Amino acid sequence: MLEQPRRIKRGWMNLRVSQVIHETLDTRTFYFVDHEDGGRAFDYRPGQYLTFRFDELGPKPIARSYTMSSSPCESDYVAVTIKEMHKGVVSQFFVQDVKIGDVLRARGPIGKFCYFSGQDQEHLAMIAAGSGVTPFTSMLREYAPHLGEEGAPKRMTLLVSYRSTDDLINWDLLQEVSKVPGIRIVTTLSRQDARDLGFLYKRIDADMLRSVFSEDLSKTTFMTCGPQEMMDLSANFLKEQGVPPQCIKIESYETA
């Protein structure tokens, strides 16, 4: 575990869909294997993404990026979790049309939105909303069994916001890792009051950040992924608390 990526294919790869999991009404997880040899096509770090290319969905080729929600410790496949956006060309195609056996073109792994034990702090705090949970799903899968070991954080906290209990992406994994000592998962729902089930009930705001991250923050690296407004709010709050810029990492889904 926690090895550096080794087997990296260059250029566009042919990935075959080997499984499709219904996460929620509008979100699916797609498992991929190498079309040629049936194994995992490449190595990667948790937090990295693939860029898929479609030549026939529009008049010009279209490319969209999706972060691995699987972890490098899963050696037989890679997976991405995709939420269908209203009238979104590629996400709608994925969720409505892509099926087991289809072969898609993708390039990667790409990105540096990762935990680097040499430079990052021992406590990894993750702040996410909706499909922005996917890089953190990968990190939790990878690091939860190895907290405190070389290459992994000592502790992990995830604050994640979903709309309702119908929108709980990657929920089985989150519940499973929440039992691991050193891992804390806090889930808030923005449009459903389910406080009796243990959820918070409002959008992520400064008060929530203050109460979830109430400890000394000097040994914490923060990573945030989700709507721009939530990431800006989180970054501003953390800067006000004196968290240095190198301990605040942001992944925008609106670029690249």
| Residues that bind ligand FAD in the complex, under the rule CB under 6 A | 49, 64-67, 80-83, 85-92, 131, 134, 253, 255-256
Shortest CB 199 distance to ligand FAD, Å: 22
Neighbouring C-beta atoms of residue 226, cutoff 10 Å: 22
Shortest CB 251 distance to ligand FAD, Å: 6
Shortest CB 103 distance to ligand FAD, Å: 19
Shortest CB 208 distance to ligand FAD, Å: 23
Q: What is the 3-state secondary structure (H, E, C) of 68-102?
A: ECCCCCCCCCEEEEEECCCCCHHHHHHHHHCCCCC
Cis peptide before 109 (omega within 30 of 0): yes
Shortest CB 255 distance to ligand FAD, Å: 5
If the CB atoms of residues 51 and 190 are measured against ligand FAD, the closer one turns out to be 51
If the CB atoms of residues 18 and 92 are measured against ligand FAD, the closer one turns out to be 92
d(Cα 93, Cα 89) in Å, to the nearest integer? Answer: 6
If the CB atoms of residues 229 and 240 are measured against ligand FAD, the closer one turns out to be 229
77-109 core/surface letters (b: 16 or more CB in 10 A; e: else): bbbbbbbbeeeeebbbbbbeebeeeeebbbbbb
If the CB atoms of residues 99 and 179 are measured against ligand FAD, the closer one turns out to be 99
Of 37, 109, 112, 54, nearest to 79 by C-alpha is 109
d(Cα 223, Cα 137) in Å, to the nearest integer? Answer: 13
If the CB atoms of residues 121 and 142 are measured against ligand FAD, the closer one turns out to be 142
Shortest CB 150 distance to ligand FAD, Å: 27
DSSP class per residue in 25-66: TTEEEEEEEETTTSS------TT-EEEEEESSSSSS-EEEEE
Shortest CB 230 distance to ligand FAD, Å: 15
Nearest residue (beta carbon) to ligand FAD? 88
If the CB atoms of residues 2 and 54 are measured against ligand FAD, the closer one turns out to be 54
Q: Which helix (H) or strand (E) holds 22?
A: strand 13-24
If the CB atoms of residues 137 and 157 are measured against ligand FAD, the closer one turns out to be 137
